Amino acid sequence: MAVVGIAMLMALWRLLRGPTVPDRILALDTLSVTAIAQLVLFGMHLQTPVYFEAALIIAMLGFVSTVVLCKYVLRRDIVE
């Protein structure tokens, strides 16, 4: 869990200091994936399924947010 926490800090650093918008979008996606990994590991540690459900919700939100941000960067329009 400590290594995943360090990965989250590194992704947060890239999110804040990213030189370009695509770098920041990629850092946000990496941050959501590492948050999912952290929740799954924590759920395994506590042996409770609640954290797995939270990880699924974060996975869905992370995927949708990445698609929306990439579409906005490419077209400058979200709704077609």
Per-residue tens of pLDDT for the chain, all 80 residues: 999 999 999 999 999 998 888 898 899 999 999 999 999 999 999 999 899 999 999 999 989 988 888 888 888 766 66
**What pLDDT is attached to residue 72?**
84
Q: Long-range contacts made by residues 69-77, C-beta under 8 angstroms, separation at least 24?
A: 69/25, 69/28, 70/25, 73/21, 73/22, 73/25
Query: Tell me, what's the pLDDT at 35?
Result: 93
Q: Would you state the pLDDT for residue 80? A: 62
3-state helix, strand, coil in the chain (%, to 5): 85, 0, 15
